[in-house]
Amino acid sequence: MTGPMYHSPVLLRESVDGLEIKKGGVYVDVTFGGGGHSKEILKRLGAEGKLLAFDQDEDALENTIDDTRFTLINENFRFMKQFLKFYGIRKVDGILADFGVSSHQFDKAERGFSTRFEADLDMRMSKRNVLSAYDVVNKYSYDDLRKVFFRYGDLRSANAMAKTVIERREQALIKTTEQLKEVLQRFLPKGREHKVLAQIYQAIRIEVNQELLVIEEFLLQTPDLLDRGGRLSIISYHSLEDRLVKRFIRSGQFEGEPEKDFYGNVEVPFKKLGPLIVPSKEEVANNNRARSAKLRIAERI
């Protein structure tokens, strides 16, 4: 049964166009969510084509698609290669990823992702995850907490924020999003409260779900999985994600210069296709979630 859509899929046409769908091809949507991108891929596939999708969020199972060409895997896409092998898939023609938190997760108050609602400190994209926002806020050392705020939230007051959290939790544990907001209230400048609070939430959420590590592990699997000429179509929402994607497409790694062969020729797994794609003004006006989206497309060499 198809449940309610999580959100209007961002850069839908552009991201699926980027895959250059072959009628009989095999494709992977590693961020299924409400199924918007998957449905568009299936529209373009022929009877012999296959689409496998991943989503670690148990809620996404409500949106599964009744189609013999489609398989939904309720797992984190960091395990993509392992599960595709289980399903007898060793090579694919295209992989699509739409990173970030779905509107459904933001809108479901009890998940603790949104600055709009009071909820328990959770922020887990899968309820099977052991680590939660509560653990980060109440159990991390000063140094670890400071690093989370600075690295993942780009917060200039990271040191003072970490110190404030440590001091407050020694008096009483911080259990809800509202309590966390109250603890850090003095760091929320008038007129910019929502922006800074969103940065705080982003930092904690990235740590809870190991989002950047998961993206790295995912990207490292793509050269082996994609057939020559296969496409990678990836939508990112903040600079930390996009930087990883950009560097990997350019050099096949996340740090340093690309490797060279015996003759000094650069060896890279991908060729960048076209310029960076961002949503039109019309799409942003119709779907606020699209405002920071960036789409990069690459081809397996």
* 221-273 pLDDT tens trace: 999 999 999 999 999 999 999 999 999 999 999 998 777 777 878 789 999 99
Q: Compute the distance between CA of residue 116 and CA of residue 110 in angstroms, rounded to an integer.
A: 11
Tell me how many degrees the CA angle 164-201-116 measures, rounded to the nearest 5. Answer: 110
pLDDT at 116: 60
Is residue 250 within 8 Å of 272, Cβ to Cβ? yes
Taking residues 75-95, report their average pLDDT.
Answer: 98
* 148-197 pLDDT tens trace: 999 999 999 999 999 999 999 999 999 999 999 999 999 999 999 999 99
Token pair for 45: 């596939």
pLDDT at 260: 77
Is residue 280 over pLDDT 90?
yes
Q: Do the strands 294-300 and 226-236 form a parallel or antiparallel pair, or are they unpaired?
A: antiparallel
Token pair for 143: 């140094």
Is residue 5 over pLDDT 50?
no
Give, rounded to a whole angstrom, the gap between the first and last alpha carbons of the chain. 39
What domains are there in the chain, each with its CATH number?
12-103+211-300 (3.40.50.150), 108-209 (1.10.150.170)
Is residue 119 within 8 Å of 99, Cβ to Cβ? no
* 203-231 pLDDT tens trace: 999 999 999 999 999 999 999 999 999 99
* 116-139 pLDDT tens trace: 668 999 999 888 999 999 999 999
User: What SS3 class is residue 297?
Assistant: strand
pLDDT bucket at 115, cuts 50 / 70 / 90: low
Total residues belonging to the chain: 301
Classify burial at 130, counting beta carbons within 10 Å of its beta carbon; exposed 0-12, middle 13-18, buried 19 or more: exposed
Q: Compute the distance between CA of residue 20 and CA of residue 297 in angstroms, rounded to an integer.
A: 11
The percentage of residues in the chain with a pLDDT greater than 70, rounded to a whole number, is 92
Secondary structure element (H or E) that encloses residue 298, with its range: strand 294-300
CA distances from 289 to 65, 238, 258, 279 (A): 24, 12, 34, 10
130 CB-near residues (< 8 Å, 6+ apart)? none
